[in-house]
Amino acid sequence: MKIDKIDIKGNKQPIEVADKVFGCKINKDLISQVLYKSNANFKGRKAKTKQKNEIVGSTSKIYAQKGTGNARHASRKAPIFVGGGVAHGPKGENNYKFRKLNKSEKKLSVTSLITEKNKDNNLIVIDDFEKEIKKTKEMFSILSSLKASNSLLLLDKSSKKNIFRSSRNIPNIKVTDINHFSSYDITKYKKLLLTLSSIKELEKKYSWKINLTFTIKYYLLW
């Protein structure tokens, strides 16, 4: 399939791209599952309280079983005492289930989201940044001319190096490369900006044969 490459002046030129990355079937159910798992795994799981067996101290009875007129108790580690364990408190990372994401889910969600950006006219393709841009004002002017004020810049390593410093203070802009982004990054920003080299890297990484079992599970339900 073909998509348009645009320059700073607004001139368009059609280029050939892979259908598997830019024109695949959009699976919204899969995207929803991947985003749910990613966000769940990303959250901090550090809240933890000590259980009764984790309290350091004597395990002997605090007083005799009978004859004192008080209720029967064992040690002071019980949750009803000050300084004792906490009943049903959070247990840290052990209290949460890690939701596994396999490679097929990750790749299919990325290609579905890229295709969705392309169909919604929120995909911008430009030439590589061959020269270093040092001024933030200059970089902001380029992004404004491309109408990419709220964008994820998914670049090749060379282009990323040339514009990273000049774009890092621009609000609602994230600069990254092919190996350091997720489906969440694509959904967070309105537009997706790619360079010609990053497109080639995307096609190399995501133009792959899908496992038959996984395909049946997520595609034959349409």
pLDDT range class, residue 38, cuts 50, 70, 90 = confident
The answer to whether 156 and 128 are in contact (CB under 8 A) is yes
The answer to whether 16 and 196 are in contact (CB under 8 A) is no
Here the tokens at position 50 are 């000590």
Of 214, 215, 217, 197, the closest CA to residue 205 belongs to 197
* Separation CA 5–CA 21 (nearest Å): 16
The answer to whether 163 and 141 are in contact (CB under 8 A) is no
Residue 208 scores a pLDDT above 80: no
């009764």: which residue's tokens? 52
pTM for the structure as a whole: 0.74
| Comparison of pLDDT for 167 and 216, the residue scoring more | 167
Domain ranges of the chain: 2-41+98-219, 48-96
Please report the pLDDT score of residue 193 as a whole number: 96
The strand pair at 191-195 and 123-126 is best described as parallel
Of 114, 111, 112, 55, the closest CA to residue 87 belongs to 55
Residue type, 211: N
DSSP states along 87-119: TT--BGGGGS------HHHHHHHHHHHHHHHHH
Q: Write the pLDDT tens digit of every residue in 172-189.
A: 999 999 999 999 999 999
* Separation CA 38–CA 175 (nearest Å): 20
2-41+98-219: in CATH 3.40.1370.10: yes
Local structure of 130: helix, strand or coil: coil
Q: Write the pLDDT tens digit of every residue in 107-163.
A: 999 999 999 999 999 999 999 999 999 999 999 999 999 999 899 999 999 999 999
Please report the pLDDT score of residue 213 as a whole number: 46
| Contacts with 34 (C-beta within 8 Å, 6 or more apart), sequence order | 101, 105, 106, 109, 183
